[in-house]
Structures are given as C-alpha cells and as structure tokens.
Chains A and B, each alone.
Chain A
Amino acid sequence: MANLADAIPTRRPKTARQGTDLIQKLAILLAVLLAVSAILAPLLTPFEPLQQSLLARLRPPVGFERHAAGHLMGTDELGRDVLTRALYGLRLTLALAFSGALIGLLFGGALGLVAGLCRGWIEDTIMALVDMQIAIPFTLLALLVLSLMGSSLTVLVLVLGIAGWEQYARIVRGEVRRLAAQPFLEAARTAGAGPLYMAWRHILPNLVSPLVVQFTLALSNIVILESTLSFLGLGVQPPQPSLGSMVGLGRDYMPNAPWIVLTPAALIVVLTFTVQILGDWLRDRADVRLRDR
C-alpha cells in the first residue's frame, strides 16, 4: 500500500504544527511503550506464546465470568494466553516491518542513486520499473505470489521489502538530480572528484532526512500489509503469532470469544496510528529544515 501523501511534496505553514503538539507527545510515549513491551515481552509475561492448556480454552479476560486466573486478556482456542501471544506477535510484526522497510530502503535507495547518477538508458530502465511497480496493484500480486509459492518468513520479508522500494527510488533520484544541479557539485566535479566520492561526501548527507521520513511512513504501511497478508493466511504461519495472523485465525471465534481478535486488533491500530503520527511529525520538521536552509 503506497503512501498517498508522499506523491507530491508539500509545503506547510509552520503554524499548522502547533495544535498537534500534544498528540505528538502522546505518540512518542506510545512508541516507547510499544517498543519496550515488544523487546521485553518475555519478561513481562509468565506464559509462553505456544503454551497450551486444552482445559482452559476460550476463557474471557479477567473481570468476566469464567475467566482463568492470571490470563489478563483471556485465553484463545487452544488455551494459550492472548496477551502473551499479542506481545510476541507485536515483536514479530515489528521485526518484520523493520526488515521489510530496510530492504526497501537499501534496494530502492540504491536503484534511485544509480538512476540519479547515471543518466541515459540505465535511468530510463529504472524509472520504467518504478512506473510498473506503481501500475501493478502490488498487494494483489503479493497475495498471488504468497498463495502460490507458500509463505515462509524469508519470502514474506522479501515481499514486504519489495512493497515500497519505488518510493525510495523516486526520492533519492529526485534529490540526487536536484543536488547535481547545484554549483558546489559542479565545482567539485571540475576539481576532479569521482562520482563515488561525490555520492558519499555530498549526496548521502542530504538524503538522510527525507529517507528517515519515508522509512517511518513505510513502516506503518508495511505493518498493515503484513497484518492483511497474515489475516488472509498468507503471512506468518501458525502456531507462531503475528498480530495479523492472530486476528485472522481468531475471526472464527469473533462472536463467542471476541477478545482473541480485539486484543491484537487494538495493538495493530495503536501501532499504525503511532507510527503515522511520528512520520508526519518528522516530515514537518524536515520540511522546515529544508526551507530554513
């Protein structure tokens, strides 16, 4: 799922940011909370994510009738602790999202750099690929590839990585071309600097800011893509939990045991919401810096 708000660069008055300061603080707090609970999941819960108890299946969260002691958010269809699985699911979902976003960054960034530095047919080819990636409904293709080839974590990470590469490629190429027109690079070139040196010394530092923004925004898209694929049974495979697969497998129990679905669903929503707000905030800051220069 491409991020729509990136297609066209935006200039926003500084004042637009002030009303949302509180929300941004909240988002930072949530982000820290989510990251800490994902990392410390094994310490936070006395249960194992795969530990079954067939005698305590489908028990509701604490506070409801028939709940099982210690299972804060209840148990699932095999008597496993829902909260524990959700925390481990959050871990896996985050790990997948980071790996996917990183692959997209490296792959797309490298192609964008090449396209920006080498003009001519190489650039044309790469940009044609970018166009194609935009034209193909990617999620649909991912669905087909995964359902046909069978899903494993490796394939899944690759699919998630490829999902957003064209955004990085466009950003990097655009930035490279913008910089290439600057007088100081002309000067460096006439002074005999090679293209690699110029890329390292002058172009990369200028790319950090837009790439960080794009990386953050891509994260939330990948979380949603991973969840959707896992929901459809094409992502993370049981018994291993991811947030999406918990919702997917738990949906049959929605009418009689909604906590199995609602716990991971709430985490997905909070996670994507947080990352979106952070990404937007980073972009605003980057815009300001660019304009101030």
Chain B
Amino acid sequence: MIRLMLTTALAALPLAGAAQEITVGAANVSAYLDPGRDHSNVGSQFYYNSFDTLIDRDHTKLEPEWVPALATSWELVEPKVMELKLREGVTFHNGEAMTADDVVFSLNRMFQATFPPYVVRSKDRLANFASAEKIDDLTVRIHAEREEPLWETLVSLQQVAIIPEDYTKALTGDPAVAEDSDFEAFALAPVGTGPYRIAEFQPGEKLVWERFDDFWGDAAPLERATVVQIAETASRLTALKTGEADIVTNIAPDQLSLIESDPNLKTEGSATALFHVMIMNANHPKLQDPRIRQAMSLAIDRDALNEALWLGKAVVPSTHTMAEMGALHQPDLVTFEYDPERAKQLLEEAGYDGFEITYDTAATYYTNGLLAAQAIMEMWAAVGINGRVNVQDQWSGNDPEMMARNWSNPMYFADPFGSFGVMWAPNGPSEGEGRFNTDEDYAEKWDRFRFSSDVEARKAAYAELMEEIRQNPPVLPLYRPFESWAMRSAINWAPMPGHIPYVLDFRAESISLAGS
C-alpha cells in the first residue's frame, strides 16, 4: 500500500513548455481557510500546500521522521522549554519577510487563544503549551506547562502553522491589535509561506493555487492548481470523464471498477488514517447497562461490512490504534470483536426487552455511512436488537436522546493522543457532550498515558484505558475507510502515508504530470 512517490516522481519527466496546470474536482471545498481554527476533513485537504509549520515530517514514511521546515534546528534547553532556530530568508505570499515576531504571534494566537474558534482547538490538543517567546531575530522559545513527550508532534500540527502578524492585524480595525474580526478576515484571505499562494478563494466553491516563486524550499511542480467543488458523486465521475477535472476526490469503492476499466484513467487510494466509528450514549436511560452497549458492539460483523461495502479494502481494527503511531501502535490489544452468541447472552443477562434502539446518520456525510447503518440494523436484528436508522443531517452527539450514531475519529496527529486521545480525554468533547463518563481512575490512567516520558509506560497506560473502554463501551471503531482519488493516467499523485487524512499534497516530489 505504501507507494514510494519519490521514484515515480523522478521517473516522470516534467514536461517543459506545457502548461503545468490541473483541476481538482473535490466533494467539498471549505467555507473558510484558517489552519488554526480548522481541524475538519474538508479543510485538511488544503493547508499543506500553502502553509508551513516550524517542524515538518517526511511524509513518504509511515513512521515519524522529523525534518526542518521553518525552523532549521530545535532542542530542549530546559525540560519544559524548547528553543528553535528559524530559517533565514523565508517570505510570506504577500512579500513580507518572516520574522521571529510572526512566529511568536502565530503560536500564541493558539497557545493563549482568545478568539473562540481558536480556544476550542487550543484546549483539545495544545493545552500543555503556555507561551512562545522571541529570543532574538532568529530564535524563539516555546514554554510548556509540564514535561512534554510529544514535542515535535505537537509543534508540527496544522493548527500552529505560521501566518504573518502585521498582515493579519491590519485586516480590520486597529492595525496594531489582533481583533477577532482580523482572524475572521484572515480565513477569507489566507496568507502563508508554502510553495503555493492562494490566488483565488470562493468559499465553498473554488480555490486556486498558484506557484509561489519566492518559496524557501523546492519550487512547486505545478504552475496552477484549481479546486472546484463538485458535490454529486455522479457529477464528479462525469467531470473526470469529460476532462473537466484531472483529479477527483472521494470515490467510493463501488465506483473503482468504472475508473479502472477506462484506459485513460486510474485510481489511487489508501485506508485513511481515520476510523468511522459507532458511538453509544452511556447516559441514555435505556443504555446505562454496559452489557447492552457491549452487545450492540459485539453483534456487528465488521469484516462482513468491509467485504461487502469496501470490497475488503478497508482495515478493521481490534483496538483503537493505527500503524502510523509507530512505537505506540498496539495491534495485539483486543478491545473490539464480533461475537453474536456473546451478544445474545449479554442481552439476556441485561434483561433487554426489545425496546427500539435508534442509530443516527447523515445521508451522505460519511462514504458508505448510510449503507453501513442499514447493514448494521440487519446484524443487530440477527441477535435480537430492535434497531432503526434515523437519517438526519444535524449532529446529534450532544443530544441526551441520542442512543447510537456514526461519527469519525480522525488521526489529527500520529499518536494515540491525536486520535482516541483528542476525542475521549477526561472533560474532552465526548464527555462534554454528555454521552461518556470518566472518573478519577480513568483520569489517572489518562494522565500516565499522556505525559509519561517512557514509551512503555505510555503503552501500558493506553492498554488500561482500552480495557475500560471494552468493559463500558462508548465507541466501536468500525474500520479505516478506503478512500480513493481518481485521475487521468498521466498524473503521478497518490496520498502519502505520512500525512493526516485527505491532504492534497502538491509540493515538490509529491506530484508530477507525465507525457501528455
């Protein structure tokens, strides 16, 4: 599954003289572009081409390998203080030079957030960072509250990408002050340091990238890339056929054979670093007995879902873990399994009387989401659970009446903290929405998992957390969906294993156009 993009990219001859332009037909285009406040699967497509972080990673590799980006070197000068040396000669898309002040401003807009959309992101993943500080023109320091085992990981998050201070502050109102409205305006006229500048942005419709000639690194391979929203699957496929799009996103497995039967087209795909999950409301009066929720989970034959809906290309996990997490990957843990007999037995023990259990899903939000929901109802029926699919577009995860629904747990960064951790932390979003409970015991395990400096200690604590989840389940990861992109055969592009889900990486050595 891992493609070595480097070799394919070098093999393809860049065509001199020909216009190196492509059009991408995307299922969704963001309504705003601000790497700080955004953590959606829609937004993650777009940031990497236009923004840089201080530290980056080698995205051709599955396991983290940190590489310099806007910082050329970094070290811990004290247990809780990291010092970073900045790259010289970096220019923003608006022509201003990047300074230590811009870096401090960008980091502190998250670390010490006041703009509410930033506050939310700051709390769920950056809470351990107190502040950033300028030492000299090429040196900044980051101060953590506690010793941080995930320094590089968290400093390379999309949310702490570097944006220009003066430009942002001057967008509205007082040019010396960062007002909320400045950040709102920034999200419509975003400026970064990446290899492509955002030349045109029509929220929810269209985004045009143009090569940024003053980029500090290797020049962008494309002169121009246009992303247009084509919401309908059939329209996206058709646009690829008619040549209106060169790459289209979000192709369901059922459509792959259509593309592959056309000699001018091909598909690239991977089991995305994200789980489609079923969540269950532990506080619903009828579902408080964990045995009911265990049965709901044990009744689902996830391998059958994979075979039928994903042609076997998805990945069904035994626990909430992913290969991308390197040392923290624990595939041996068995937290979730299929055991219909045990499910029947648990239902009987719990005295389940056949009450209806609703399963909420949006009609189209998750690929195959509605299909999986309907298939799960049949699987529930097989063990005696009376289930009903409830289709609604509105998020119901914070509704006390919600019994079960689908959701996704993306890998926001390559660590269990970046996937399970963000969603299921004590006082995190799941508990905050009132469908998941934690106690001191859970919090203590959580703390050991989050902050232990020893990897083995972190693994052991995570295994303990998984055992709690198994005993009293609020969630069942269904699978890592197999997401595909379809494109003209002449395009050499594929999702890279070192990225978070859905990133459209068009940087040097990530894409090339062959022949034509």
Residues on A close to B: CB < 8 A?
52, 54-55, 57-58, 77-78, 147, 150, 233, 237-239, 249, 251-256
Q: Are the CB atoms of A252 and B378 closer together than 8 Å?
A: no
Alpha-carbon distance A241/B12, docked complex (angstroms): 49
Q: Please, could you name 14 A-B residue pairs with CB atoms under 8 Å apart, sorted by A?
A: A52-B374, A54-B307, A57-B308, A77-B254, A147-B393, A150-B392, A233-B364, A249-B363, A251-B232, A251-B234, A252-B252, A253-B254, A255-B237, A256-B257
Q: Are the CB atoms of A233 and B389 closer together than 8 Å?
A: no
Q: Are the CB atoms of A256 and B392 closer together than 8 Å?
A: no
Alpha-carbon distance A123/B309, docked complex (angstroms): 59
Is B472 an interface residue when CB atoms closer than 8 A count as contact?
no
Cβ distance A267 to chain B, nearest Cβ, rounded Å: 20
Which residues in A have their C-beta under 8 angstroms from that of B378?
52
Cβ distance A84 to chain B, nearest Cβ, rounded Å: 15
Cβ distance A270 to chain B, nearest Cβ, rounded Å: 23
Q: Are the CB atoms of B371 and A239 closer together than 8 Å?
A: no
Q: Are the CB atoms of B234 and A252 closer together than 8 Å?
A: yes
Partner of A233, one of B237, B254, B363: B363
Is B255 an interface residue when CB atoms closer than 8 A count as contact?
yes
| Interface positions of B from 349 to 400, Cβ below 8 Å from A | 363-364, 370-371, 374-375, 377-378, 389-394
Is B264 an interface residue when CB atoms closer than 8 A count as contact?
no
Partner of A255, one of B238, B304, B371: B238
Q: Which residue in chain A gives the minimum CB-CB distance to B305?
A: A54
Q: Are the CB atoms of B389 and A78 closer together than 8 Å?
A: no
Interface centre among A57, A78, A147 (most CB of B within 10 A): A78
| Interface positions of B from 300 to 351, Cβ below 8 Å from A | 304, 307-309
Which residues in B have their C-beta under 8 angstroms from that of A238?
363, 370, 374, 389, 391
Which residues in B have their C-beta under 8 angstroms from that of A254?
234
Interface range on chain B: under 10, 10 to 19, 20 to 34, or 35 or more? Answer: 20 to 34
Alpha-carbon distance A97/B98, docked complex (angstroms): 65
Q: Which residue in chain B gives the minimum CB-CB distance to A148?
A: B394
Which residues in A have their C-beta under 8 angstroms from that of B308?
54-55, 57
Q: Knowing that A55-B308, A256-B255 are A-B contacts, what are 10 other residue pairs whose CB atoms are under 8 Å apart, sorted by A's residue number? A: A77-B254, A78-B371, A78-B374, A78-B375, A237-B391, A238-B389, A238-B391, A252-B233, A253-B254, A254-B234
Which residues in B have their C-beta under 8 angstroms from that of A57?
254, 308
Interface of B is mostly: helix
Alpha-carbon distance A55/B307, docked complex (angstroms): 9
Q: Which residue in chain A gives the minimum CB-CB distance to B372?
A: A78
Closest 8 CB pairs of A and B: A54-B308, A252-B233, A237-B391, A254-B234, A233-B363, A256-B258, A239-B374, A52-B378
Cβ distance B77 to chain A, nearest Cβ, rounded Å: 55
Alpha-carbon distance A249/B373, docked complex (angstroms): 14
Interface centre among A55, A77, A253 (most CB of B within 10 A): A77
Cβ distance A73 to chain B, nearest Cβ, rounded Å: 18
Alpha-carbon distance A92/B364, docked complex (angstroms): 23
Residues on B close to A: CB < 8 A?
232-234, 237-238, 252, 254-255, 257-258, 304, 307-309, 363-364, 370-371, 374-375, 377-378, 389-394
Cβ distance B206 to chain A, nearest Cβ, rounded Å: 23
Alpha-carbon distance A58/B308, docked complex (angstroms): 11
Q: Are the CB atoms of A52 and B375 closer together than 8 Å?
A: yes
Q: Are the CB atoms of B374 and A255 closer together than 8 Å?
A: no
Partner of A150, one of B234, B237, B394: B394
Q: Are the CB atoms of B304 and A54 closer together than 8 Å?
A: yes
Q: Which residue in chain B gives the minimum CB-CB distance to A236?
A: B391
Alpha-carbon distance A238/B374, docked complex (angstroms): 9
Which residues in B have their C-beta under 8 angstroms from that of A237?
390-391
Partner of A239, one of B254, B257, B309, B389: B389
Q: Which residue in chain B gives the minimum CB-CB distance to A147?
A: B393
Cβ distance B375 to chain A, nearest Cβ, rounded Å: 6
Alpha-carbon distance A147/B392, docked complex (angstroms): 9
Q: Are the CB atoms of A54 and B254 closer together than 8 Å?
A: no
Which residues in B have their C-beta under 8 angstroms from that of A256?
254-255, 257-258
Which residues in A have their C-beta under 8 angstroms from that of B392?
150
Cβ distance B312 to chain A, nearest Cβ, rounded Å: 12
Cβ distance A100 to chain B, nearest Cβ, rounded Å: 21
Which residues in A have their C-beta under 8 angstroms from that of B237?
255
Which residues in B have their C-beta under 8 angstroms from that of A147?
393
Alpha-carbon distance A255/B375, docked complex (angstroms): 23
Cβ distance A60 to chain B, nearest Cβ, rounded Å: 13
Which residues in A have their C-beta under 8 angstroms from that of B255?
252, 255-256
Q: Which residue in chain B gives the minimum CB-CB distance to A256?
A: B258
Cβ distance B357 to chain A, nearest Cβ, rounded Å: 15
Which residues in A have their C-beta under 8 angstroms from that of B393?
147
Alpha-carbon distance A58/B257, docked complex (angstroms): 13
Cβ distance A245 to chain B, nearest Cβ, rounded Å: 10
Q: Which residue in chain A gives the minimum CB-CB distance to B301?
A: A54
Alpha-carbon distance A58/B389, docked complex (angstroms): 21
Alpha-carbon distance A251/B235, docked complex (angstroms): 10
Cβ distance B48 to chain A, nearest Cβ, rounded Å: 28
Q: Which residue in chain B gives the minimum CB-CB distance to A54?
A: B308
Alpha-carbon distance A52/B375, docked complex (angstroms): 8
Alpha-carbon distance A256/B293, docked complex (angstroms): 38
Q: Which residue in chain A gives the minimum CB-CB distance to B236?
A: A252
Alpha-carbon distance A237/B252, docked complex (angstroms): 22
Partner of B254, one of A55, A58, A251: A58
Which residues in B have their C-beta under 8 angstroms from that of A54?
304, 307-309, 375
Which residues in B have their C-beta under 8 angstroms from that of A58?
254
Q: Which residue in chain B gives the minimum CB-CB distance to A237?
A: B391
Alpha-carbon distance A254/B255, docked complex (angstroms): 10
Alpha-carbon distance A239/B309, docked complex (angstroms): 16
Q: Are the CB atoms of A255 and B363 closer together than 8 Å?
A: no
Which residues in B have their C-beta under 8 angstroms from that of A251?
232-234
Which residues in A have their C-beta under 8 angstroms from that of B394?
150
Q: Which residue in chain B gives the minimum CB-CB distance to A239?
A: B374
Alpha-carbon distance A238/B373, docked complex (angstroms): 10
Cβ distance B300 to chain A, nearest Cβ, rounded Å: 13
Cβ distance A256 to chain B, nearest Cβ, rounded Å: 5
Alpha-carbon distance A177/B392, docked complex (angstroms): 47
Q: Which residue in chain A gives the minimum CB-CB distance to B370?
A: A238
Q: Are the CB atoms of A255 and B258 closer together than 8 Å?
A: yes
Which residues in A have their C-beta under 8 angstroms from that of B389?
238-239
Q: Are the CB atoms of B254 and A255 closer together than 8 Å?
A: no
Alpha-carbon distance A251/B252, docked complex (angstroms): 13
Interface centre among B232, B238, B257, B374 (most CB of A within 10 A): B374
Alpha-carbon distance A249/B234, docked complex (angstroms): 11
Which residues in A have their C-beta under 8 angstroms from that of B304?
54
Q: Which residue in chain B gives the minimum CB-CB distance to A254?
A: B234
Q: Which residue in chain A gives the minimum CB-CB distance to B238?
A: A255
Alpha-carbon distance A253/B368, docked complex (angstroms): 12
